[in-house]
Protein backbone atom coordinates (compact mmCIF):
# COMPACT_ATOMS: atom_id res chain seq x y z
CA UNK A 1 0.00 0.00 0.00
CA UNK A 2 1.50 3.32 -1.09
CA UNK A 3 2.03 6.11 1.43
CA UNK A 4 -0.33 9.08 1.42
CA UNK A 5 1.31 11.03 4.24
CA UNK A 6 4.65 11.64 5.89
CA UNK A 7 5.87 9.07 8.41
CA UNK A 8 8.24 9.44 11.34
CA UNK A 9 11.37 7.37 11.00
CA UNK A 10 13.86 7.06 13.84
CA UNK A 11 17.61 6.80 13.50
CA UNK A 12 19.52 3.92 15.11
CA UNK A 13 22.70 4.95 16.87
CA UNK A 14 24.22 8.40 17.00
CA UNK A 15 24.41 10.51 13.83
CA UNK A 16 27.80 11.99 13.11
CA UNK A 17 29.98 13.43 10.38
CA UNK A 18 30.15 10.07 8.61
CA UNK A 19 26.49 10.47 7.62
CA UNK A 20 26.12 13.84 5.95
CA UNK A 21 22.72 14.71 4.43
CA UNK A 22 22.42 14.55 0.65
CA UNK A 23 20.36 16.62 -1.76
CA UNK A 24 18.96 14.97 -4.90
CA UNK A 25 16.56 16.10 -7.66
CA UNK A 26 12.95 14.93 -7.58
CA UNK A 27 11.60 13.40 -10.78
CA UNK A 28 8.99 15.19 -12.89
CA UNK A 29 5.43 14.79 -11.60
CA UNK A 30 6.61 12.82 -8.56
CA UNK A 31 5.34 13.00 -4.98
CA UNK A 32 7.38 11.51 -2.13
CA UNK A 33 6.86 11.52 1.62
CA UNK A 34 9.16 12.40 4.49
CA UNK A 35 10.28 9.25 6.24
CA UNK A 36 10.18 7.12 3.09
CA UNK A 37 13.13 5.37 1.49
CA UNK A 38 14.94 7.60 -1.02
CA UNK A 39 15.41 5.80 -4.34
CA UNK A 40 16.91 7.24 -7.52
CA UNK A 41 15.87 5.97 -10.92
CA UNK A 42 18.14 5.33 -13.92
CA UNK A 43 18.24 9.11 -14.61
CA UNK A 44 19.43 9.92 -11.08
CA UNK A 45 16.11 11.46 -10.01
CA UNK A 46 14.34 10.61 -6.75
CA UNK A 47 11.27 8.47 -7.36
CA UNK A 48 8.48 7.17 -5.18
CA UNK A 49 9.62 3.92 -3.55
CA UNK A 50 6.18 2.29 -3.72
CA UNK A 51 7.29 0.57 -6.94
CA UNK A 52 11.03 -0.17 -6.69
CA UNK A 53 13.10 -1.51 -9.58
CA UNK A 54 16.33 -3.50 -9.41
CA UNK A 55 18.16 -0.66 -11.21
CA UNK A 56 17.18 1.93 -8.56
CA UNK A 57 19.67 3.06 -5.92
CA UNK A 58 18.69 3.45 -2.26
CA UNK A 59 20.34 6.50 -0.64
CA UNK A 60 18.72 6.75 2.79
CA UNK A 61 15.54 8.34 4.15
CA UNK A 62 13.79 11.44 2.76
CA UNK A 63 13.93 14.08 5.49
CA UNK A 64 12.48 17.15 3.80
CA UNK A 65 12.24 19.42 0.80
CA UNK A 66 15.42 20.92 -0.59
CA UNK A 67 16.35 24.61 -0.70
CA UNK A 68 13.80 26.91 -2.33
CA UNK A 69 10.84 24.63 -1.68
CA UNK A 70 8.38 25.18 1.17
CA UNK A 71 8.74 22.29 3.60
CA UNK A 72 5.03 21.71 4.13
CA UNK A 73 3.12 18.49 4.85
CA UNK A 74 2.07 16.13 3.55
CA UNK A 75 4.66 15.10 1.02
CA UNK A 76 7.10 16.81 -1.30
CA UNK A 77 5.71 17.40 -4.78
CA UNK A 78 7.34 18.20 -8.10
CA UNK A 79 4.28 19.17 -10.14
CA UNK A 80 6.50 20.32 -13.02
CA UNK A 81 6.99 18.29 -16.19
CA UNK A 82 10.72 18.90 -15.71
CA UNK A 83 12.79 16.82 -13.30
CA UNK A 84 14.96 18.58 -10.72
CA UNK A 85 12.87 21.75 -10.33
CA UNK A 86 12.39 20.44 -6.77
CA UNK A 87 15.00 18.66 -4.67
CA UNK A 88 14.81 16.58 -1.50
CA UNK A 89 17.08 16.33 1.52
CA UNK A 90 18.12 12.77 2.31
CA UNK A 91 19.46 11.46 5.59
CA UNK A 92 21.99 8.65 5.39
CA UNK A 93 22.87 6.30 8.18
CA UNK A 94 20.94 3.66 10.07
CA UNK A 95 17.15 3.84 10.37
CA UNK A 96 14.38 1.65 11.79
CA UNK A 97 12.12 0.21 9.09
CA UNK A 98 9.50 -2.52 8.78
CA UNK A 99 10.20 -6.08 7.69
CA UNK A 100 8.50 -7.99 4.93
CA UNK A 101 6.65 -11.20 5.71
CA UNK A 102 7.01 -14.83 4.64
CA UNK A 103 10.32 -15.39 2.83
CA UNK A 104 11.11 -11.69 3.32
CA UNK A 105 10.78 -11.78 7.13
CA UNK A 106 13.93 -10.60 8.91
CA UNK A 107 15.15 -12.31 12.08
CA UNK A 108 18.16 -12.23 14.38
CA UNK A 109 20.14 -14.68 12.23
CA UNK A 110 19.97 -12.14 9.37
CA UNK A 111 21.88 -9.38 11.20
CA UNK A 112 24.77 -8.33 8.96
CA UNK A 113 23.04 -9.44 5.75
CA UNK A 114 21.85 -7.34 2.82
CA UNK A 115 18.18 -6.37 2.70
CA UNK A 116 16.09 -5.15 -0.22
CA UNK A 117 13.47 -2.42 -0.73
CA UNK A 118 9.89 -3.71 -0.83
CA UNK A 119 8.16 -0.32 -0.53
CA UNK A 120 8.56 3.12 1.06
CA UNK A 121 9.10 1.88 4.62
CA UNK A 122 9.55 -1.88 4.28
CA UNK A 123 12.58 -4.03 3.51
CA UNK A 124 12.93 -7.75 3.00
CA UNK A 125 15.45 -10.54 2.95
CA UNK A 126 15.06 -11.43 -0.74
CA UNK A 127 15.74 -9.49 -3.91
CA UNK A 128 12.30 -10.49 -5.21
CA UNK A 129 13.78 -12.49 -8.06
CA UNK A 130 16.29 -9.66 -8.73
CA UNK A 131 13.52 -7.06 -9.11
CA UNK A 132 14.34 -5.10 -5.93
CA UNK A 133 17.22 -2.74 -5.20
CA UNK A 134 19.46 -3.29 -2.20
CA UNK A 135 18.37 -1.10 0.73
CA UNK A 136 21.40 -1.69 2.91
CA UNK A 137 22.45 -4.01 5.73
CA UNK A 138 20.42 -5.20 8.73
CA UNK A 139 22.30 -3.94 11.79
CA UNK A 140 19.97 -4.56 14.74
CA UNK A 141 16.52 -5.74 15.77
CA UNK A 142 14.78 -4.09 18.74
CA UNK A 143 11.36 -5.53 19.56
CA UNK A 144 11.00 -3.17 22.55
CA UNK A 145 10.38 -0.26 20.20
CA UNK A 146 6.86 1.14 19.98
CA UNK A 147 7.45 3.66 17.18
CA UNK A 148 6.21 2.66 13.72
CA UNK A 149 7.07 1.51 11.14
CA UNK A 150 9.28 -1.24 12.51
CA UNK A 151 11.91 -2.87 14.69
CA UNK A 152 14.66 -3.37 12.09
CA UNK A 153 17.68 -1.03 11.99
CA UNK A 154 18.97 -0.80 8.41
CA UNK A 155 22.29 0.87 7.56
CA UNK A 156 21.59 2.82 4.36
CA UNK A 157 23.43 5.15 2.03
CA UNK A 158 25.70 5.17 -0.99
CA UNK A 159 28.56 3.46 0.82
CA UNK A 160 26.25 0.55 1.62
CA UNK A 161 24.05 0.23 -1.44
CA UNK A 162 26.16 1.50 -4.35
CA UNK A 163 25.43 0.66 -8.02
CA UNK A 164 23.89 -2.77 -8.54
CA UNK A 165 23.88 -3.28 -4.77
CA UNK A 166 27.66 -3.32 -4.42
CA UNK A 167 29.75 -0.98 -2.31
74-91, pLDDT tens digit by residue? 899 999 999 999 999 999
Above 90 in pLDDT, residue 163? no
Q: Provide long-range contacts, Cβ within 8 A and 24+ apart, for 124-130.
A: 124/99, 124/100, 125/100, 126/100, 127/54, 127/165, 130/54
Q: Are 106 and 136 in contact (CB under 8 A)?
A: no
Strands 93-99 and 122-124: parallel
Q: Which helix (H) or strand (E) holds 160?
A: helix 158-161
Tens of pLDDT, residue by residue over 18-34, are 567 899 999 999 999 99
One DSSP character per residue, 44-99 reads S-EE-TTS--TT-EEEEEEEEE-TTS---SS-EE--SSSTTSSEEEEE-EEEEEEE
Least confident of 62-66, 84-88, 124-128, 163-167: 163-167
Q: How do the domains of the chain map onto residue ranges?
A: 22-92, 94-157
Confidence of residue 146 (pLDDT cuts 50, 70, 90): confident
Residue-by-residue DSSP string for 94-148: EEEEEE--GGG---GGGTTSEEEEEETTEEESS-TTTTS-EEEEEEEE-TT--SS
Amino acid sequence: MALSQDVRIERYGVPGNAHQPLNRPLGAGVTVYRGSIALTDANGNIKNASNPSSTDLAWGIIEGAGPGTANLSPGIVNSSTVASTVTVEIGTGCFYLASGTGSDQLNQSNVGQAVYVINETTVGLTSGGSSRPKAGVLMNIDFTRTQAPGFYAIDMGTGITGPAGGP
